[in-house]
Amino acid sequence: MTCKSATTFALLSALLLTAASAGAADKKVVRLWQTETEPQTLAVLNEMAAAYEKTHPDVSIKIEGLAWGDLEKKLTAALAAGAPPDAAHGQPITCVSFAAKGLLRPVEDLADSLGKDNIVDAFRGLCRWQGRTYGVGHSPASSLFVYRKDLLNQKGLKVPKSWDELIQVAEALKETKDGQVVRYGLTMTGAPLFINIGVGELLKTNGGRLFDDQGRPTLTSKPVIELLDFYKKLNGVLPPGWTGHGYLDTFANLANGKAAMLYQAYGRGAGYIEKYAPKEIADPEHFAVADKVVGPSGKLPAAQLDCEPWMVFKDAKGASEAVDFLKFFFKDENYVPYLHSVPIHLLSIKKSTTKNPKYADNAMIAKWRPWVDMQEKYFKNDWIKPVLVTDWDDMKKPYLLEVMGSGILVDMVFDAVKGMPSAEAAAKAQKRVEDLLVQTGYLKK
């Protein structure tokens, strides 16, 4: 190569590198935070992002999976630092809180792209504020009560229907060997998010609520006192150290035979059963589902709605691109593989997808159909509510996120479990919530 040729080649190479660098720099990076952390789901999401980028070469989609219990505090910290993602999952109460603070972009265009009449009826108004839509749920699911049907049959026990019956059956299912407990009758998580979920869910099924029509807390009411008394009883039948058990630990406890019932189960638990339980019993005939137990002051079962809305932040530089990607996310050719990544937990929020033969063509959905049917029963009967919501009107209270983040309700439960009289634990929490709402300007003294 001549000197002149070498110089020309070097210049061309430099120009190409500069052009490539400029192209990369010109790409708009769109960051999305979401709550699905299982490897197979993240793989589907990353494949979806890569497919989108092929037709949108000026956009780079970055998706991060955050655990349920971490999302709200990380979002709050990111907002305080002025660096939130462009779009994110959030609890419904988070979505309403952020919308009320003017932090979110309305997403009527996203909802319209799905077809508002095409969204499962129970979830059309999941995140609305002052008549506008600020969130669209990625996938609905209901919490479940799962029990070992074979073990109950062996002992001649009936499926519990009330709080007291749950305690009695849990005691009867406990097994010891050589003085050591080898199986507990019941397992539950003590993780703060799930205590908040449990308080709302159990209070709903006990005919109670957390706030009155004027927005004042009602923690000294009879249904709450009964709830705390129930937690005291639960503490006597749950494994020692249950307050430190994560919710995935409880799935493992159920699957590997260390527990016979799980009150706060979810559809993803079917995957843990197939992974950890003996193959000959890894099916819904052995791991059966039933209606949730009802409290002494209640009449109907209640469950927690797991359906985080997609939120788009108003000041995000990639807000429009985030909405466009989410429209792509909800197209069946992308949405069905996402749902199939955790098939019993990630149910469709679109009626049309549920009817799509490609969605139904899934071995786990066919096998674990009773678990899906139970969730759909709760949807149709309106027996499901988001965390800390006992009545849909509670979604008009933008301070539920602050109450959840304060840890007051968790402390109330743990105070009772540790021996404080229920009425005293409730009165302490009542004052703390009142003080919190006064300090944050939501309540007048």
pLDDT digits (tens, 9 = 90+) for 281-321: 999 999 999 999 999 999 999 999 999 999 999 999 999 99
In a domain? residue 84: yes
Q: Same domain for 146 and 273?
A: yes
398-432: per-residue pLDDT in tens? 999 999 999 999 999 999 999 999 999 999 999 99
In a domain? residue 13: no
Q: Same domain for 55 and 136?
A: yes
Task: Please say which residue of 323, 339, 367 terminates a domain.
Answer: 367
**Phi and psi of 236, rounded to 5°?**
-80, -15
Q: Same domain for 166 and 237?
A: yes
- What mean pLDDT is predicted for residues 369-384? 96
Q: How far apart are CA 50 and CA 39, in angstroms?
A: 16
pLDDT of residue 15: 46
**pLDDT bracket for residue 26 (50, 70, 90):** confident
pLDDT of residue 73: 85
pTM for this one? 0.90
In a domain? residue 22: no
In a domain? residue 4: no
User: How many Cβ atoms sit within 10 Å of the Cβ of residue 234?
Assistant: 21
pLDDT of residue 116: 82
Total of domains in the chain: 2
pLDDT of residue 18: 46
In a domain? residue 78: yes
Question: By the 8 A CB rule, do 49 and 34 touch?
Answer: no
Q: Same domain for 178 and 99?
A: no
- Angle, helices 222-237 vs 422-439, to 10°: value is 120
Q: Same domain for 256 and 156?
A: yes
In a domain? residue 376: no
pLDDT of residue 19: 44
Q: Is the pLDDT of residue 239 over 70?
A: yes
More confident position, 79 or 288? 288
Q: Same domain for 149 and 127?
A: no
111-165: per-residue pLDDT in tens? 999 998 999 988 888 899 999 999 999 999 999 999 999 999 999 999 999 999 9
Task: Please say which residue of 316, 338, 367 terminates a domain.
Answer: 367
Share of the chain above pLDDT 70, in %: 94
Q: Same domain for 83 and 94?
A: yes
> What is the number of alpha carbons within 13 Å of residue 317 lying toward its C-beta?
10
pLDDT of residue 25: 55
pLDDT of residue 21: 46
Q: Same domain for 240 and 313?
A: no
Tokens of 45: 């999401």
- CATH number of the domain within which 234 lies: 3.40.190.10
**pLDDT bracket for residue 9 (50, 70, 90):** very low
In a domain? residue 9: no
157-196: per-residue pLDDT in tens? 999 999 999 999 999 999 999 999 999 999 999 999 999 9
Q: Same domain for 40 and 172?
A: no
The dihedral region occupied by 82, where left means phi > 0, alpha psi between -120 and 50, and beta the remainder, is left
Q: How far apart are CA 117 and CA 183, in angstroms?
A: 47
**pLDDT bracket for residue 90 (50, 70, 90):** very high
Range scoring the smallest mean pLDDT among 19-23, 228-232, 439-443: 19-23
Domain coverage including residue 295: 142-304+385-439
Q: Same domain for 196 and 287?
A: yes
Q: Same domain for 276 and 424?
A: yes
Mean pLDDT of the chain: 92
In a domain? residue 20: no
Q: Same domain for 66 and 121?
A: yes
